């Protein structure tokens, strides 16, 4: 069976969200061809995950380029032969410029470890604990020029426990990420999810608020 969409997955680290996609494809839950995994770090653990799964890998070291635009153009050139339909940012720890975002506008996705718009940027788990939040989680969104500010698609949340540390909270949030990211991409592949004029649409209706994991799984 031919996959309906092909993807490049961009990583910088261990690639646990990448593994979630590999597993979803492997058990036929996701009709996706992972054409290439690209990292800005040659020692990223996710590259080995990809190789073990028989997926082609690329390495583009950001330190070899004078600025972000030059690096982003190198990313575009590296991905060009693969002609992918979707770009999935899965722990890619580089801020992308409009040069890259515009190339893949409306088909580039990111996941962020907070319930956006709360806590964009870094150290989200520590910040949530410091603020005394009762709930924390993760958000899948379309990636745009605004850092962690693109239209939100799907969120999964977890309770913040009294004895949580940043590490324990991060571990539970990561489990949620592994569920919601493939699910959000499946909506796009099915043609139910679109990006238009700076907004996300599901089944033709604008998503003023992101879908929530529990509500969405009840409707499937």
113-138+156-220 shares the fold of 1-104: yes
CATH of span 1-104: 3.40.50.170
Answer yes or no: are the C-beta atoms of 188 and 154 closer than 8 Å: no
Task: Tell me the DSSP string of 96-132.
Answer: PPHHHHGGGTTSEEEEESSSTTSS-SS-HHHHHHHTT
Q: Could you say which DSSP state residue 29 is in? A: S
112 is catalytic: yes
Give the pLDDT of residue 2: 44
- Which of 96, 91, 95, 93 lies closest to 170, judged by CA? 91
**113-138+156-220 maps to CATH 3.40.50.170:** yes
- Percent helix, strand and coil across the chain, each to the nearest 5: 35, 25, 35
Give the pLDDT of residue 217: 55
Helix (H, G, I), strand (E, B) or coil at 203: coil
Answer yes or no: are the C-beta atoms of 120 and 114 closer than 8 Å: yes
Count the Cβ atoms, other than its own, within 10 Å of residue 214.
Answer: 9
- Which of 68, 6, 69 lies closest to 37, judged by CA? 6
pTM, two decimals, is 0.94
Q: What does the domain layout of the chain look like in residue ranges?
A: 1-104, 113-138+156-220
Q: How far is Cα 159 from Cα 155, in angstroms, rounded to an integer?
A: 13
Q: Could you say which DSSP state residue 95 is in? A: P
Give the pLDDT of residue 37: 98
Q: How far is Cα 5 from Cα 84, in angstroms, rounded to an integer?
A: 8
Q: Which among 62, 112, 125, 136 is annotated as catalytic?
A: 112
Rounded average pLDDT per 10-residue block, the chain, 220 residues? 79 97 95 98 97 98 97 98 98 96 97 97 97 97 95 97 97 97 97 96 96 67
- Cβ neighbors of 1 (< 8 A, separation 6 or more) are 31
């Amino acid at each position: 069976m031919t996959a309906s969409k092909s993807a490049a997955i961009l990583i910088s680290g261990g690639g646990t969200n990448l593994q979630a996609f590999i597993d979803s494809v492997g058990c036929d839950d996701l009709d996706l061809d992972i054409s290439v995994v690209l990292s800005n770090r040659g020692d990223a653990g996710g590259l080995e995950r990809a190789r073990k799964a028989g997926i082609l890998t690329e390495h583009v070291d950001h330190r070899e380029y004078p600025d972000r635009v030059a690096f982003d153009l190198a990313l575009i050139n590296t991905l060009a032969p693969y002609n992918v339909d979707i770009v999935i940012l899965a722990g890619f720890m580089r801020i992308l410029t409009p040069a890259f975002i515009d190339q893949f506008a409306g088909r580039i996705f990111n996941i962020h470890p907070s319930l956006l718009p709360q806590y964009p940027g870094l150290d989200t788990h520590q910040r949530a604990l410091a603020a005394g939040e009762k709930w924390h989680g993760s958000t899948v969104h379309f990636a745009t020029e605004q850092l962690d500010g693109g239209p939100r698609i799907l969120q999964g949340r977890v309770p913040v426990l009294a004895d949580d540390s940043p590490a324990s909270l991060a571990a539970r949030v990561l489990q949620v990420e592994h569920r919601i990211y493939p699910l959000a991409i499946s909506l796009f592949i099915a043609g139910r999810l679109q990006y238009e004029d700076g907004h996300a649409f599901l089944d033709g209706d604008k998503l003023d608020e992101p879908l929530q994991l529990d509500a969405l799984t009840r409707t499937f």
